Structure 1
Amino acid sequence: MSISHVKLSAPADSPNTDGIHIGTSRNIKISKSVIGTGDDCVSMVSGSQSIEVNGVACGPGHGISIGCLGRGHEHEYVKGITGHSSSAVQIQDVTFKNIFGVSSTEVAVNLQCSKAMPCKNVKLINIDLAYDGPGRRATSLCSNVIASSSGKLVPGGCI
């Protein structure tokens, strides 16, 4: 499904006025649109896969949100999200859990966040990655990340 060239608006002080709310859907493209609401410009919740947002102007409101806050405290899985030409993106409350395997690159964990909007409350739980190349170990490369870890963390270095 493609959504393009739309203009959505609601008063800035209107609560719960998501512009576009996506759940249990895949292969959605949103482009060349203007969305100004009192809540999320675009929100993606559990079951959303292969979502692309390109050339969407958001504001006022909360911008683009991934995952749902406060409903039942269950885990939500959102996959394959692509944004183009984004600015002022706040990534927070992300958990990487029980990830095991072999990386084809030496840098197995790469978390790069903005100085202006650092990633917050990133949790690394039971991560064990090895490098497939000769003679070296897997490494991590992280910047502007506020994170915590528990259980095994290989490679280390991001905390």
Structure 2
Amino acid sequence: MCNATEGIPHMSIPKGKIFLLQPVQFSGPCKSNQVLVEVGGIIVAPTNIQAWNDEKEKWISFANIDGLTINGGGQIDGQGSVWWNACTDKALHFHNCNGLQLSKLRHLNSPKNHISISSSNRVYISNLHIFAPEKSPNTDGIDISRSSNVSVLNTVMETGDDCIAINGGSSYIKISGIACGPGHGISIGSLGKNGAYETVEEIQVSNCSFTGTQNAARIKTWQGGSGYARKIIFERIRLINSEHPIIIDQNYDPNSLKPGSKSAVKMSDVTFRDVRGTSADEIAIDLVCSDSVGCTNIVLENIDIRSTIPGKRTYSRCNNAHGTAKETNPIVPCLSQ
């Protein structure tokens, strides 16, 4: 397919057909600047672990292919339950695929991450339905790392982990129209694990709903790391029984803390605006910033998060967070002073 020199190279999975696909990698660069893959039918992964041979990190991988479009209305089924207690990785992985477009597909039961994007620019993802059982471990919907100018729009995600995770090296990410739940919400990070220097900036999350999720809008960084997370906006967010609606955690894994550590990923210029709905936990706003670095210019505006239980109050919790809060329920004293 990559050697075609005329027209747009095209691979089709016919509608009404089911194909068992062994682990496979499609590698470029391609001679054409456009490549089309139409998935009209159903692709399923082998359920026999031995069938994967030594390739246990990726099921379907695309690398170094620019102008790749995958659509067609079909289904990609990772049949991942056999892997959920094992060590595996991504179902569908794109590396260095600039100009990628992914739309109108169903993704089911990934062994781990359903879709992973790395080292790519100008990525457009829309109109997907991603599903894995609520208790399935590590079944992230979409993971983004070291990528820029990525849009994820109008997609339904029901997972056992993050609906979307935005990892280090990512910038100019737009997420809108996501229906998340169950799952662990939309997360920035985790960043700075094992003392790493990592950065994330220019992230916009808007017009998203979270139903029965463990978290909703979350930023998580490890103590001992370095770098920054900045210029991040969560706005027009709707909540239904979300356990932790707004959470900043600069101590993502408290068990890893080193006494006296003065290093942390710097967090600044983060806005939560027009966030409304119900919380399953009494702590609806949780801003846990590190003692050493803290968070600056944290802005909360037009927030109304009430308890799922009628008559019960919601509260906020702060540590070393600095900024402003306006028209916020529950009140956030550390930002309101």
Deviation readout 1:8-35 (Å, 9 max, x if unpaired): 0011111011100000100001111101
Of Structure 1 and Structure 2, which has the larger fraction of its residues in helix? Answer: 2
Note closer, same or farther for the CA distance 1:123–1:7 as it changes in structure 2 (3 Å cut): farther
Q: CA deviation at 1:77?
A: 1.1
User: Residue 155 of structure 2 aligns with which residue?
Assistant: 33
Q: CA deviation at 1:120?
A: 1.9
1:51 maps to which of 173, 182, 189: 173
Task: Tell me the equivalent position of 1:92.
Answer: 249
**CA–CA distance in 2 between the matches of 1:58 and 1:126?**
29
Q: Give a deviation string over 1:76-112, Cα, whole Å, max 9, x none.
A: 2111110112242322218537x9xxxxxxxxx8877
Query: Does the 8 Å contact 2:168/2:191 carry over to 1?
Result: no
Read off the aligned partner of 1:117 and give its amino acid letter.
Answer: I
Contact 1:111 1:145 in 2 (8 A): no
Deviation string for 1:110-129 (max 9, x for gaps)? 877988323222557399xx
- Counterpart pick for 2:204 among 72, 82, 85: 82
Farther off after superposition, 52-61 or 140-149: 140-149
* Alpha-carbon distance in structure 2 between the residues aligned to 1:45 and 1:110: 16
SS in 1 for 2:289: strand
2:127 match: 5
Match among 7, 17, 24 for residue 146 of structure 2 = 24
* Runs of at least 5 residues in structure 2 that lack an aligned partner in the other structure: 1-122, 207-235, 239-244, 251-263, 276-282, 301-315, 323-333
Match of residue 62 from structure 1 = 184
Distance between the aligned counterparts of 2:152 and 2:298, measured in 1?
A: 32
TM-score after normalising by structure 1: 0.65
Matched, 1:125 2:276: no
Q: Which amino acid aligns with 1:147?
A: N
- 1:142–1:73: structure 2 CA closer, same or farther, 3 Å change rule? same
Tell me if the contact between 1:31 and 1:53 (Cα under 8 Å) persists in the aligned partners: yes
- SS of 1:68's equivalent in the other structure is strand
* CA 1:60–1:126: 2 relative to 1, 3 Å: closer
Please give the alpha-carbon distance, in whole angstroms, between the structure 1 residues aligned to 2:147 and 2:181: 24
- 2:306 counterpart residue number: none
Bigger radius of gyration = 2
Query: What amino acid is the match of 1:121?
Result: C
The residue that corresponds to 2:284 in the other structure is: 116
Cα deviation code 1:128-150 (max 9, x no counterpart):
xxxxxxxxxxxx8877561338x
Please tell me the residue identity of whatever aligns with 2:284: A
Identical residues among aligned pairs (%): 32
Pick 1 or 2: higher relative contact order, CA cutoff 8 A, min separation 6.
1
TM-score (norm 2): 0.33
Change (3 A) 1:11 1:18: same
SS of 1:116's partner is: strand
User: What root-mean-square deviation, in Å, do the aligned CA atoms of Structure 1 and Structure 2 show?
Assistant: 3.7
- Contact 1:25–1:47 (CA under 8 A) maintained in structure 2: yes
Q: How many residues align?
A: 131
The C-alpha deviation readout for 1:37-78, integer Å capped at 9, x for no partner, is 101100011111111111101111101111126842424211
